[in-house]
Amino acid sequence: MNKNIILSTGNIHKVEEIKDILKELPVNICSKKDLGFGDIDVEEDGTTLEENAIKKAVAISQKVDGIVIADDTGLFVDELGGEPGIYSSRYSGENASYEENNKKLLRKLEGIALEERTATFKTVIAIVTEDKQVKTVYGECKGKIGFEFKGDSGFGYDPLFIVDGYDKTFAELGEEVKNKISHRAKALEELKKELKNIIGETNGEDICSE
């Protein structure tokens, strides 16, 4: 029987993205919400993406049996000294919308030429194994911040992030391309390698299916 992987996230976009990238592995994937733990909201008070990812994964691993993974992702803009960084999802406040965060970023970069709007998307994924060992993997993608929203695919800062080598935003490239080249895709490729080592023999009850 396939191994259970529980995603410590309530973001449906991340869940679908991760399911798509890991679809070839012999695993059952579900979110914390699927298992009734959607109300567990871990305070992301770490000073790095790695600290926050580990904290989120450990919190859920204490409640469930299975492999737990959690990611923390940030957009680091060079001209802004690395902002929004670890605060990317709440750049305009704790309950900020994607649009509000994007608009704040555009305001802070007003008047800055495109060649100076360099940025890096970074993702750290923390893995807590069934025997509670903690591992991390990493991925990044470089690009520039555009001057206006372009494209209607993706989420977060995707309509502004122009990917190096493509001259299009993630939102213009679409999910199929993004899921091959993005920071999260690269981190998930590293995750695949770790999971292949972790999984070994498959056993246990499928807790991810209704």
Is 158 part of any known ligand binding site? Answer: yes
Is 12 part of any known ligand binding site? Answer: yes
Q: What is the pLDDT of residues 164-181, one digit of tens each?
A: 999 899 999 988 898 889
Is 184 part of any known ligand binding site? Answer: yes
pLDDT given for residue 202 in this prediction = 44
- In angstroms, the CA 122 to CA 140 distance is 4
| Count of H-run helices and E-run strands, the chain | 6, 7
Catalytic residue (one of 72, 131, 164, 206): 72
- In angstroms, the CA 50 to CA 118 distance is 22
pLDDT given for residue 206 in this prediction = 58
Query: What class does CATH assign to 3-199?
Result: alpha beta
Instruction: Parse the chain into domains and list their residue ranges.
Output: 3-199
Q: What is the pLDDT of residues 44-83, one digit of tens each?
A: 888 999 999 999 999 999 888 889 999 999 999 999 999 9
- In angstroms, the CA 175 to CA 154 distance is 7
72 is catalytic: yes
Is 118 part of any known ligand binding site? Answer: no
pLDDT given for residue 201 in this prediction = 46
pLDDT given for residue 21 in this prediction = 76
- In angstroms, the CA 155 to CA 84 distance is 16
Q: Which residues lie across from 4 on neighbouring strands?
A: 28
Under 8 Å between Cβ of 27 and 5: yes
Structure tokens belonging to residue 83: 């902002």
